[in-house]
Structure 1
């Protein structure tokens, strides 16, 4: 294993809140070697945020293997997260060879994106080979994807145009497993199977309006969405259980409606002053009235 840190320039790419099972090998603060099965929380082209129970020094070089595809790469420990939702230390790491697609996702470079405003960034998956890509779609392409559940585009792996669908984001940080880090491959497989049974979420970055009960407002984007919830990052200091209202989507402002939601979890983001939040969507008063009326 390399014993020095490399000055590798970070690439600008979209982040994805994605839980990927990984093996981390390195040395702790006492110089003792460790080998730990654990998982990622956030990934991008240049690095990620991972969970590791052993304490590490900033600048330390570790080897990470993606257990989904067995690709490995060396990373440098950048910092320890100030807070941990799982109770286990969380670490920001930088990839020392960003050309290796260790996460099994191709992150589209900013220069590859269409030169226009209003792009929707989506985690897509090739229907034929399961190749994943975080890419920017035009509004028209995104609406077509929603309407037909797929969009035609070239696949680098298939080397032909293929149908691409929404990629499902694995179980995220709002339900940290108390048994992780796992002690064996079989334990990890059992945990992954349990996660698959939970609600599917899609890696979609849609425009998001946030309004607090006191009238304070902020605009952001979703990190991922599901039928009953969403994840986002914002500058508000919100607490678990706090209520808010969200507006999600591409409709004109006069066509959008406030959806009540409640904060279920909070995690500090690496962006200064911001935090990730998981929110559960609640029924509006109109929806509650309709349900009551249907029972009478």
Structure 2
């Protein structure tokens, strides 16, 4: 059966657009290692992450510039499964040193993301337990392996909250940020993340929050 399209003013047949994506993607950050050749013909190996995955492809970020239709090899470091992928296109605008790429697995029956776990977030800081009084006459153990204040060593790992603003649509959101993400924010002047409102993966910048006025 022949495909039918609309006839335009010039007499040419306009064929209907076909959605080439075979399966829906979901936002999932997985650790990957990419093997390939950049647009200058130089071989590279780069550790990075996915932003979205589907059984047949993914959206990844890289510091290297690629060329559509080229082939790359991707290793999912969470389950040690790898596959050969085709670069479909560049997605959106680069943010800082990162560019974003849509890739498609060349083996339709191979899902290298199956069984992989997302990257863990910041671990909760354990609360110090009650200190027991030492018995009379027992010396205090002050070995270097023990800390007099159990909370001092974990304060730096406590997640903090930042009010961030999407540079695409202006949506604001209060986000928990760990120490690694804070270092990224200092480098990029913001945090790259997906927006639940407009769906774009862009740079979110910090917004100053004014406190209540004193009476």
TM-score normalised according to structure 1 size: 0.36
The higher radius of gyration belongs to 2
Choose between structure 1 and 2: higher strand proportion. 1
